Structure 1
């Protein structure tokens, strides 16, 4: 059996992983433990993590069977084919399993058969051992219906019980719920993908054998070889033009057996921590039926042009495996979608005659100029993200000249003298993180560093605490990213963006201001979001804030208002605190 490449740093909590890889440090501790499950864990290890891994070993290799299991491993036999997955590396066991729990490609010996029967019983009982928040199946379609007209959700928080039954809380299992349709194939486009954890969800959703296309950004050794073990999984790492660029998009396509499909745009990576105690946002499209065969090429478009913008975005990847999905999107009816698609793609981009600016903050400016109701200049631009880029020596350098200058746009006729609105940035303070469900480790999703922060001391004057008491998420650190303008006096929201894009030039773009040529917007990353504009969602100029208005539900902001500015002794959480 191969030694786990992560060695003592292995954080896996996936039973399948332990059937493929050995862990000398765990084996040593497990061997010395007694039958009651008492272990002497060296101080250098995380006791909680090691205890979790040892408990999994107990379930998979009971003390009475350790010798027998070790012999089986030496002879090439591995963990039973349908052991469930929680987090970690996928293995060849997946190529031998299907959602019904029967072996499909290898013959099992007597020991394998008896062990398989045991593990199948374990699977049926213990989904909660692998997925922290489990909601009864079959109810997601009604939940989505009740979330209209916004279709915006937040991930359920493991350690915040009220969120488990909150109307707008969601789990990954619910997104895959059969009430939304019988899934025949899926696409997952994301930055970080723990394929074992993801396939665990597919297993419990009964779709493990269905074709899955994964486009990922972060390096993942497990994904390089997944097709050997899971032929129905195609994994492609997105190639980036520069070393510092990131394929940061978080989007999924669900294809259903009746020919329809669905689009989900999210802020969550596909690994356990992001769906555990972190605040994430998701937008889920209505079901998008297939168009008639003889439909016109332009048929099935939404008022917001979502379908065209999505296809133009996907073409930018230049990945042939996406072509069937682009064709499927073209032949689907997107007319029920009421939000705008907002993307960023790497490169230099100039304004076009038809679509205006195609990507980044300039694209948002084009849409706001056309469709946003006039907004008083005193209304601030509110930004909120899980990381902050290098923004310049002062607030004017990029925030005002580029970013806020785009986000202040509205449909007021050109020519009126306008002021620069205030800029406010919601970002967790040190106190927010230290008081989180996971303590200081709650800051693991907030990669803002001291080197960058030291170069922009002016930013502190604009920082706001993370508070989400109304949604029971104050202690669930935000990996969500959102941008908006709202008026507390008349309780209205003018527009709202949910996106994968953090507050950075790489994500949103920076203008190359050469006076001799048309300004070029330089973008480094792939990002995707949605823009909620009232005229297209509710037919009004603003969304209600806080309370329903004339039968229109209040817009679900992820945080509490009014905002809470940093106190003089507050400081933003920096990733360096985790390493010091």
Structure 2
């Protein structure tokens, strides 16, 4: 069996991974224990995580069975070369075309030989049980109706494993539901994401019945498993997105789903493609309507939405400069996007200037341009509310970038030029230490919050603007937010003026920073790839604002992911820092 490429840093908790890869540090702890939860775990490891992983080993490789299998069982035939890569459940770690000897190594790490097929059979049996692999299982066939009932926003939060009410909440969704056949028969797909656990993802494809369908994966975070996946799974093409600078990130989380009837769908989310992000973390997902194929003789400009989503998405995908995306760009061009009621708001690496054709193309300047053109006039006393799972280096004070660049763009609306405006207040929702320690996963719940002490120490002013993570109305106060949102709303008249769901954290790298030393015009410098959607009432409901809290004249309330009014940090509160997990 191959050693896990992540070694002691392995964070995985799914049985398929532990059936495919060995872990020397876990093997040592497992061998020293009694197999009944009594283990001597070294202090350098996370006790909670290691216990969870050991429970998987107990389930996969019970102690008694492990002792028996040290002696080869000569009555059992050697497993066939294709056993580990059959649809029974080996999703990424073994080759369907490699030799029998390589397949035979897909067993436990406890000294099993090539004759040891019983563990392989045990792993395959486990993989066939969807409830052992996916913690929240919703009955198949109902997603089309759920999406229809989610109109006009089509915005969901991911189901939370340890929050049972979210399993039946109408606006909760699982990855299996996004792949559900009621939305269409998937013939091929694209997954653009930062972190991708390919074995976990292909497990979902297996249970959705699309494991053999072509899949293009564009990923940001380095993954040894993805480098060689094409050898083992020829239907999968995995491409690492090359970034121009060392600290830039390909951070977008997007799916393109093509259906056998010629239609397609776009999904934009905040979740990485690995188990933890779909377990006990609050994530946001926007799912487009079904986008049917245009007639062959349709005009080249046909099928565009009022928001220009189609053109903006194609321009965004072109920026990757990846040839394998060309057929998808062509498919988008030939699809009818007219039913989409949101704007695409993206970021791409580089320096960007305003053009006469598109105005500002990317980042916070693009968002500001859209608000200036389409947002109803907003009173300056209405704050800009930001919420993200990480915070960048923002400068020596609130004016340096937050007000001068970011809020200056997000404060814009369609008020005529020349009217004297004031800077609205800035509020930031970010989990406190208390939020995380009381989460479903305890301190490990902060694993999705990579805000560090070094950065926080340089911006002590930020604490005056911080607010707790609270989501009692959506049953997610204990599910730490990996979602990222930006909005302005008025509690007095219960209105939301606009809302952004995006992969972009509150940082210069994600949203851009103006280089004001330019002699010609300001240049917006962006480091990351990011993607999000902007909800503007005029295009979604035909009104100036969305209702907040309760339905208004038949229009559903906008589904905010957190509770309002916000709860400011108390004097003794402090933001959660990633360093707390390393101490």
Normalised by the length of structure 2, the TM-score is 0.91
Matched with 1:339 is: 342
Pick from 461, 472, 476: which aligns with 2:475? 472
Matched with 2:313 is: 310
Instruction: State the Cα distance separating 1:7 from its structure 2 match.
Output: 3.6
Equivalents in 2 of 1:93, 1:59: separation in Å?
Answer: 26
Equivalents in 2 of 1:339, 1:448: separation in Å?
Answer: 30
> Cα 1:73–1:319, aligned 2, differ >3 Å: closer, same or farther?
farther
Pick from 359, 369, 374: which aligns with 2:362? 359
Equivalents in 2 of 1:275, 1:468: separation in Å?
Answer: 17
Q: Conserved in 2, the CA contact under 8 Å of 1:16 and 1:84?
A: no
Equivalents in 2 of 1:190, 1:308: separation in Å?
Answer: 21
Matched with 2:226 is: 223
Q: Conserved in 2, the CA contact under 8 Å of 1:398 and 1:510?
A: yes
Q: Is the aligned partner of 1:579 residue 2:582?
A: yes
Deviates more, 1:58-67 or 1:313-322: 58-67
Equivalents in 2 of 1:308, 1:117: separation in Å?
Answer: 49
Pick from 474, 494, 497: which aligns with 2:497? 494
> Cα 1:393–1:552, aligned 2, differ >3 Å: closer, same or farther?
same
Instruction: State the Cα distance separating 1:21 from its structure 2 match.
Output: 3.8
Matched with 1:288 is: 291
Q: Conserved in 2, the CA contact under 8 Å of 1:15 and 1:83?
A: no
Matches within 5 A, 1:255-404: 255-404=258-407
Aligned-pair Cα RMSD in Å: 2.6
Matched with 2:110 is: none
Q: Conserved in 1, the CA contact under 8 Å of 2:192 and 2:217?
A: yes
Q: Conserved in 1, the CA contact under 8 Å of 2:13 and 2:275?
A: no
Pick from 168, 181, 191: which aligns with 1:165? 168
Instruction: State the Cα distance separating 1:62 from its structure 2 match.
Output: 3.8
Equivalents in 1 of 2:413, 2:398: separation in Å?
Answer: 22
Equivalents in 2 of 1:26, 1:578: separation in Å?
Answer: 20
Q: Conserved in 2, the CA contact under 8 Å of 1:84 and 1:130?
A: no
Matches within 5 A, 1:158-197: 158-197=161-200
Q: Conserved in 1, the CA contact under 8 Å of 2:431 and 2:575?
A: yes
Matched with 1:410 is: 413
Matches within 5 A, 1:56-71: 56-58=59-61, 62-63=65-66, 66-67=69-70
Instruction: State the Cα distance separating 1:384 from its structure 2 match.
Output: 0.4
Matched with 1:4 is: 4
Matched with 1:41 is: 39
> Cα 1:291–1:61, aligned 2, differ >3 Å: closer, same or farther?
farther
Q: Conserved in 2, the CA contact under 8 Å of 1:157 and 1:275?
A: yes
> Cα 1:424–1:293, aligned 2, differ >3 Å: closer, same or farther?
same
Q: Is the aligned partner of 1:541 residue 2:544?
A: yes
Q: Conserved in 2, the CA contact under 8 Å of 1:187 and 1:253?
A: yes
Structure 2 spans left out of the alignment, 5+ residues? 104-113
Q: Conserved in 1, the CA contact under 8 Å of 2:82 and 2:96?
A: no
Equivalents in 2 of 1:375, 1:352: separation in Å?
Answer: 27
Matched with 1:507 is: 510
Task: Output one character per residue of 1:388-434: Cα deviation in whole Å (capped at 9) or x when no partner.
Answer: 00111111111111000000000000000000000000001111111
Q: Conserved in 2, the CA contact under 8 Å of 1:79 and 1:93?
A: no
> Cα 1:219–1:321, aligned 2, differ >3 Å: closer, same or farther?
same
Task: Output one character per residue of 1:102-150: Cα deviation in whole Å (capped at 9) or x when no partner.
Answer: x9xxxxxx989998877665444x2111101000000000000000000
Normalised by the length of structure 1, the TM-score is 0.92
Equivalents in 2 of 1:210, 1:348: separation in Å?
Answer: 38
Q: How many residues align?
A: 563
> Cα 1:242–1:7, aligned 2, differ >3 Å: closer, same or farther?
closer
